Amino acid sequence: DTRQQALFIIFGGTGDLAKRKLYPSLFELYEKGFLKENFAVIGTARRPWTDEYFQEVVRKSVTVEGTSKEDADEFAQHFYYQSHNVNDTEHYVTLQKLAQRLDEKYSIGGNRLFYLAMSPRFFGTIAEHLKSQKIVTDNGYNRLIIEKPFGHDLPSARELNDSIGRYFAEDSVFRIDHYLGKEMIQNIAAVRFGNNLFRALWNNRYIDNIQITLSEALGVEERAGYYETAGALRDMVQNHILQIVSLLTMNMPASFTESDIRREKIYALKALQVYTPEQVEENFVRAQYAGTSGLKGYRQEEQIADDSKTETFVAGKLFVESENFSGVPIYIRTGKRLAKKTTRIDIVFKDVPKNIFGPEKLGKNILTIIVEPEGEIYLQMNVKKIGQNFGLQVQKLDLLQSENDDSPVPEAYEKLILDALRGDATNFTHWEEVAYSWKFVDAIRTAWDKKEGPLVEYTSGSMGPHEADDLLAHDGHKWVFSA
Ligand code: BG6
């Protein structure tokens, strides 16, 4: 039976993430039959909402064109609201009673998912109270799903982890990195380990360099307050980009299971070369977006300091010093207000050792995995130009185009929530992955924090400052993707 029985308790139930991602994802799972009678959701937050109002919010957040009103109504009836101050023990007593009542009403059997969609500074106290006030059950599973940021450096992440770890074992902690729920990110393993062709070439003997681009067209929008304390390095590199790096460079796991996959990912992240301040200077670039006629520059945005040194763009070169990847430069870049929203990976293969067709240079073999806006995979190859003479031309072999596939792509959150319901943590970040990622990122942050003076600026709508191009040009390379 694929049907799940669970009580969700969502801390931060009135928040943006809950409305934009969690409720719609739960609704999809409901529509697909994974959740049916035996589930309930308690939303908690400080605001004094009623169940009726909460249900109205839920109905609105799941309703799009074509949504059945009846289904949305039925679904929303499983939602309950409790106004909650996370520091007030009394409130957990009430929460415990409500949870117990719903568990019985919906015959849930003690399975609980605690979703912490709020500031991490409350994670420890929530975990403690869940335990002390017996909101964790002993007749079902108890899983904690947590959202980033997981600390702002290694020491704070460790502290946070310890504060949770006192009450929840590692195997019941599900750290969300929503990139791991994206269809094309999950495709990396399929392409790498399902095809002998790529398996054979996936190493420093054949790969020249790897390029990872996570570019966004939007600015900081409403999240300026948070972003100002994070910056692109912590916001996108520490988690999403390093996760992609680990998936691209990990060794083949012994089996396609949670523990074996995570073991190899941890190993890949452990092998990241941690830079000295001089190496940071050489290998990493940071910048901020400048204003244009229509758009504000980063330092002119609301809630941002006039002299802010928070980077909205990062580009860098890094190395995974493992047997198969040692020596392969991995170029990464991410930023706000860039030319377009795209997430892509370009694997650039080495030139053929001898070009018998010369003197013209051959095109490169490049495997491109486009994650967004549409899932696509291309392989760039050299083929003969049609005609009397013998000449070569570069063509793209189109390996997969989600447009041509009718199956709807599930939203990342929907996949991840179902995984958590099933107890499969493969696509969640293990603590050791978090720790090695911070170790790498902290070395960069520390070097940057010591530097005086304003940051380099880049034009909104560009692909970042020229320094990001120089980084590759210096090695005789260039970005495969340019806007
Ligand atoms: C989040 C970052 O983790 O990822 C945001 O905090 C960013 O700043 C977002 O906009 C990008 O996610 P996606 O799925 O739109 O590529």
pLDDT tens, residue by residue, 133-168: 999 999 999 999 999 999 999 999 999 999 999 999
Is 78 catalytic? The answer is no
Strands 330-335 and 173-175: unpaired
C-alpha 111: how far from chain center: 26
Instruction: Give the model's pLDDT for residue 401.
Output: 66
Q: State which of 236, 333, 344 you would mutate to test the pocket of ligand 1, scoring each by most atoms of that ligand within 8 A of its C-beta.
A: 236
Residues 69 and 110 in one domain: yes
DSSP state letters, 308-373: ----SEEEEEE-B-STTTTT--EEEEEESSBSS-EEEEEEEEPPPSS-TT-SSPPPPPEEEEEEES
CATH of the domain at 256: 3.30.360.10
State if residue 216 touches ligand 1 by the CB under 6 angstroms criterion: yes
Q: Is 211 within the bounds of a domain?
A: yes
Q: Is 24 within the bounds of a domain?
A: yes
Residue 375 is assigned to a ligand binding site: no
Ligand 1 centroid, distance to 389 Cα (angstroms)? 50
Instruction: Give the model's pLDDT for residue 203.
Output: 98
Residue 305 is assigned to a ligand binding site: no
- Closest ligand 1 atom to residue 412 Cα is 14
Q: Is 419 within the bounds of a domain?
A: no
Task: List, in sequence order, every residue forming a beta bridge with 345; answer none if it has no partner.
Answer: 212, 369
Which amino acid residue places its CA nearest to atom 5 of ligand 1? 235
Residues 383 and 430 in one domain: yes
Residues 130 and 243 in one domain: no
Q: Per the structure block, which two tokens stand in for 6?
A: 């669970």
State if residue 376 touches ligand 1 by the CB under 6 angstroms criterion: no
DSSP state letters, 100-147: HHHHHHTT-TT-EEEEE-S-GGGHHHHHHHHHHTT-S-SSS-EEEEEP
C-alpha 269: how far from chain center: 16
Q: Is 156 within the bounds of a domain?
A: no
Strands 35-45 and 79-83: parallel
Per-residue CA distances from 377 to 196, 372, 475 (Å): 17, 11, 26
Ligand 1 centroid, distance to 193 Cα (angstroms)? 28
Judged by DSSP in three states, 215 sits in strand
- Closest ligand 1 atom to residue 341 Cα is 16
Range of the domain at 52: 4-147
Among the listed residues 307, 332, 145, the one whose alpha carbon sits nearest the alpha carbon of residue 232: 332
Tell me how far apart the alpha carbons of residues 84 and 43 are, in angstroms, rounded to a whole number.
9
Residues 207 and 309 in one domain: yes
Q: Is 173 within the bounds of a domain?
A: no
Task: List, in sequence order, every residue forming a beta bridge with 214; answer none if it has no partner.
Answer: 334, 343
Helices (H), 32-122: 51-62, 69-76, 89-105
Cβ neighbors of 178 (< 8 A, separation 6 or more) are 21, 412, 413, 416
The strand order across the sheet containing 207-215 reads 392-401, 376-384, 366-372, 342-349, 207-215, 330-335, 313-318, 284-290, 456-459
Instruction: Give the model's pLDDT for residue 403.
Output: 61
Amino acid letter, residue 312 = T
Among the listed residues 74, 72, 93, the one whose alpha carbon sits nearest the alpha carbon of residue 84: 93
State if residue 414 touches ligand 1 by the CB under 6 angstroms criterion: no
H or E stretch at 482: none
Ligand 1 centroid, distance to 239 Cα (angstroms)? 11
Cβ neighbors of 177 (< 8 A, separation 6 or more) are 148, 239, 240, 243, 428, 429
Kindly give the confidence (pLDDT) of every residue in the chain, 483 residues in length, as a single tens digit, with 9 standing for 90 and above. 689 999 999 999 999 999 999 999 999 999 999 999 999 999 999 999 999 999 999 999 999 999 999 999 999 999 999 999 999 999 999 999 999 999 999 999 999 999 999 989 999 999 999 999 999 999 999 999 999 999 999 999 999 999 999 999 999 999 999 999 999 999 999 999 999 999 999 999 999 999 999 999 999 988 899 999 999 999 999 999 999 999 999 999 999 999 999 999 999 999 999 999 999 999 999 999 999 888 899 999 999 999 999 999 999 999 999 999 999 999 999 999 999 999 999 999 999 999 999 899 999 999 999 999 999 999 999 999 999 999 999 999 998 865 666 778 899 999 999 999 999 999 999 999 999 999 999 999 999 999 988 899 999 999 999 999 999 999 999 999 998
Q: What is the ipTM of this complex?
A: 0.99
Judged by DSSP in three states, 40 sits in strand
Rg (C-alpha) for the chain, rounded Å, is 24
Contact predicate 3/38, CB 8 Å: yes
Residues 117 and 244 in one domain: no
Contact predicate 479/465, CB 8 Å: no
Domain count, the chain: 2
Tell me how far apart the alpha carbons of residues 62 and 167 are, in angstroms, rounded to a whole number.
33
Q: Is 366 within the bounds of a domain?
A: yes
Number of H helices, E strands in the chain: 16, 15
Is the bond leading into 277 cis (omega within 30 degrees of zero)? no
Q: Is 9 within the bounds of a domain?
A: yes
Looking at 147, 164, 195, the residue that finishes a domain is 147
Beta carbons within 10 angstroms of residue 182's beta carbon: 23
State if residue 208 touches ligand 1 by the CB under 6 angstroms criterion: no
CATH of the domain at 58: 3.40.50.720
State if residue 147 touches ligand 1 by the CB under 6 angstroms criterion: no
Residues 81 and 225 in one domain: no
Residues 138 and 205 in one domain: no
Q: Is 258 within the bounds of a domain?
A: yes
Distance between start and end Cα atoms, the chain? 48
Catalytic residue among 84, 240, 430, 477: 240
Instruction: Give the model's pLDDT for residue 402.
Output: 59
b/e per residue 451-468 (b: at least 16 CB within 10 A): eeeebbbbbbebbbbeeb
Ligand 1 centroid, distance to 363 Cα (angstroms)? 33
Contact predicate 232/335, CB 8 Å: yes
Contact predicate 13/82, CB 8 Å: no
- Closest ligand 1 atom to residue 216 Cα is 10
